[in-house]
Every structure is written in C-alpha cells, then in structure tokens.
C-alpha cells in the first residue's frame, strides 16, 4: 500500500522498519544463546504483610545483561514472546523459582515465591504439566507458589483462559491478577475468576496521599478483594505516605522500592532474618522470624 505513494519517504520508512526488524532478530538470537548458556538471572522482590512488616514472599523478576547493557525486561520479554523463546525461558524461570522457594522452606522460612507468566506460556498446552513437574522436582508445596497473570491477559480469550486457570487452580498453586486496574476486567468479573490474590497496579498507589479519587478507587479494590476472600497486594509503594494510607485502608500486603528493591536471593534471606527497614516497620523494631 505504501508503495503507491512513491518517493523517498517510503524508502526511508522501509529502511527504518528494516532496521527495527534486524534489531529484534538480533536480540532474539542473542537471547536464545543467553538462555542456552543460562546467562539470565533472577532477582527477587520481597512482599510484606503491612500490619506486621513481615516478609511473606518474594516475586521473581528476570534480568539480562547483554554485554555491558542491562536490557529492560519489558523490551526483551516482548521479543521473547514474539519469537516463541518465552516458552523455553519461562520453563527455566519456573524451575529456578521453585528451587529457590524450596530452599527457603528447607531453611524453615515460611515464605512463598511468585512467578510472572506471559500469555504465550499460559496458552502452551503443556503449561500446567510444566508447573506440576517444576513443583515435583523441587519439592515445593503447590500452595507456596503464586502464578502472576496480568489483568490484560484475562480478556484475550476468556473461555480458554478460564479453563487454564481452573487447571492451575486444581494443582493447588495460588493465582494472582497482576497490574489490576489497568485492563478491562471489572470488579464484577473478579468474582468469576479462581484468583487468590489481586495486585493493585502502581498507577493507583503513586497517587495515594495526594489524589483523593485514586485513594477512593484503591480503597474500593481493597474492600472488594477482601469481601471475595482474596489477598490484596499494593505494588509500587515508594513513599511513606502511600504506605500509611494503605495500612489505614486495611490493605493486606505491599511491595515496592520503599519496602525493598528487587535483589539477589541472599539479600532476601537477610531481610527475612532481620526484617525490613525502620521506615517500613511499624514499630521501628525488626519483626520476629519464626
């Protein structure tokens, strides 16, 4: 279609598209090699119970150093999803996360692990079997694994997704709806999902303490989640006033740079032992670790 208009502009446009395709292919082949060599890393971001400041779990977040550059996860995950590499990458992540969770539980820490899943992984027919295998190999109890699915995925193919979620639910893992409030799932829709956890998107949390409308919306999500028997996690807590407001509205759990940044596993272990910092801890003293 563009060809009809003729002229140099089209060539420039095509050259630009070409460069983008090459860049993505190049990234895909580097990524494939990095996966094969196990050059990717997982960081873990602690999740705390807001009433006690106790670390109750940690979310695995993938990291890739490509030469000197730390590539943004969103950028390489998009390439991984388009190329299909996400399936192999996701399986590796799942295994690692289950092993890490099992190691923490072997140390007698009562913490869970959370893993993010892309739509293409969820749609792979063997995905539930992959999850079951990762649990069995590691010995992690299913209830200690949370699978996070972005709210935006849930509207893609509602029938298929519902079947998938039911299969996963039957394995005994927990299901979390990530980025809640950014997609099209309504609060009424929540009732039909076999979800255990809602993660409120940072775009709500960032306005707490200054925007009354966002505060009201957040409070409503917290209440509906609680009425449905779900755990509610606030994501992206950066400011003490946001934390204070979340506590006041009875939000159960929180995660964000104020609480703890994503870090390597030993950092999480230290926080499980000593508790999170004073600006987060309600009493100013480190909570007990059983």
Summarize as ranges the residues that interact with ligand C2E (CB under 6 A).
Answer: 45, 60-62, 73-74, 77, 90, 93, 116-118, 148, 178-179, 202, 236-238, 256-257, 262
HSE-CB at 103 with a 13 A cutoff on CA atoms is 10
Contact of residue 256 among Mg ion, ligand C2E, none (CB under 5-8 Å per partner type): ligand C2E
First to last CA, the chain: 67
Q: How far is the CB of 59 from ligand C2E (least distance, A)?
A: 7
CA-CA distance, 164 to 64, in Å (whole number)? 29
Q: How far is the CB of 15 from ligand C2E (least distance, A)?
A: 31
The three-class DSSP label of residue 15 is: helix
Contact of residue 74 among Mg ion, ligand C2E, none (CB under 5-8 Å per partner type): ligand C2E
Residue 179 binds to Mg ion (criterion: CB under 5 A)? yes
Contact of residue 119 among ligand C2E, Mg ion, none (CB under 5-8 Å per partner type): none
DSSP strands (E only) in 55-141? 55-66, 69-71, 112-116
Q: How far is the CB of 201 from ligand C2E (least distance, A)?
A: 8
- Which CB, 8 or 260, lies closer to ligand C2E? 260
HSE-CB at 10 with a 13 A cutoff on CA atoms is 7
CA-CA distance, 90 to 149, in Å (whole number)? 13
- Which CB, 111 or 149, lies closer to ligand C2E? 149
Binding Mg ion (rule: CB under 5 A), the pick from 91, 148, 196, 269 is: 148
Residue 151 binds to Mg ion (criterion: CB under 5 A)? no
CA-CA distance, 59 to 54, in Å (whole number)? 15
HSE-CB at 52 with a 13 A cutoff on CA atoms is 9
229 sits in the region (left: phi over 0; alpha: psi -120 to 50; else beta) called left
Residue 245 binds to Mg ion (criterion: CB under 5 A)? no
- Which CB, 181 or 202, lies closer to ligand C2E? 202
Binding Mg ion (rule: CB under 5 A), the pick from 43, 53, 100, 116 is: 116
- Which CB, 9 or 119, lies closer to ligand C2E? 119
CA-CA distance, 18 to 16, in Å (whole number)? 5
CA-CA distance, 180 to 199, in Å (whole number)? 6
Q: How far is the CB of 148 from Mg ion (least distance, A)?
A: 4
**In 3D, which of 269, 274, 289 has the Cα closest to residue 103?**
269
Residue 178 binds to Mg ion (criterion: CB under 5 A)? yes
- Which CB, 50 or 275, lies closer to Mg ion? 50
């Amino acid at each position: 279609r563009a060809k009809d208009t003729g002229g140099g502009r089209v060539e420039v446009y095509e050259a630009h598209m070409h460069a983008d395709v090459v860049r993505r292919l190049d990234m895909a082949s580097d990524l494939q090699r990095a996966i094969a060599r196990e050059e990717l890393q997982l960081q873990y971001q602690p999740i705390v119970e807001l009433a006690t400041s106790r670390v109750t779990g940690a979310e695995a977040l993938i990291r890739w150093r490509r030469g000197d550059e730390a590539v943004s996860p969103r950028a390489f995950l998009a390439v991984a999803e388009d190329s299909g590499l996400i399936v192999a990458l996701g399986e590796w992540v799942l295994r690692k996360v289950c092993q890490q969770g099992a190691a923490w539980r072997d140390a007698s820490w009562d913490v869970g692990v959370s893993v993010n899943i892309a739509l293409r992984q969820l749609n792979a027919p063997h995905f539930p079997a992959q999850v079951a295998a990762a649990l069995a190999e590691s010995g992690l109890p299913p209830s200690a694994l949370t699978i996070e699915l972005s709210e935006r995925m849930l509207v893609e193919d509602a029938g298929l997704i519902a079947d998938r979620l039911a299969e996963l639910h039957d394995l005994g893992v927990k299901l979390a709806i990530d980025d809640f409030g950014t997609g099209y799932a309504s609060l009424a829709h929540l009732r039909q999902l076999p979800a255990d956890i809602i993660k409120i998107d940072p775009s709500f949390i960032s306005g707490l303490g200054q925007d009354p409308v966002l505060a009201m919306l957040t409070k409503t999500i917290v209440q509906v989640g609680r009425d449905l028997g779900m755990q509610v996690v606030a994501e992206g807590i950066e400011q003490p006033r946001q934390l204070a407001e979340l506590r006041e509205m009875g939000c159960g759990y929180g995660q964000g740079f104020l609480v703890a940044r994503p870090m390597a596993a030993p950092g999480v272990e230290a926080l499980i032992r000593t508790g999170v910092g004073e600006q987060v801890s309600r009493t100013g003293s480190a909570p007990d670790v059983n």
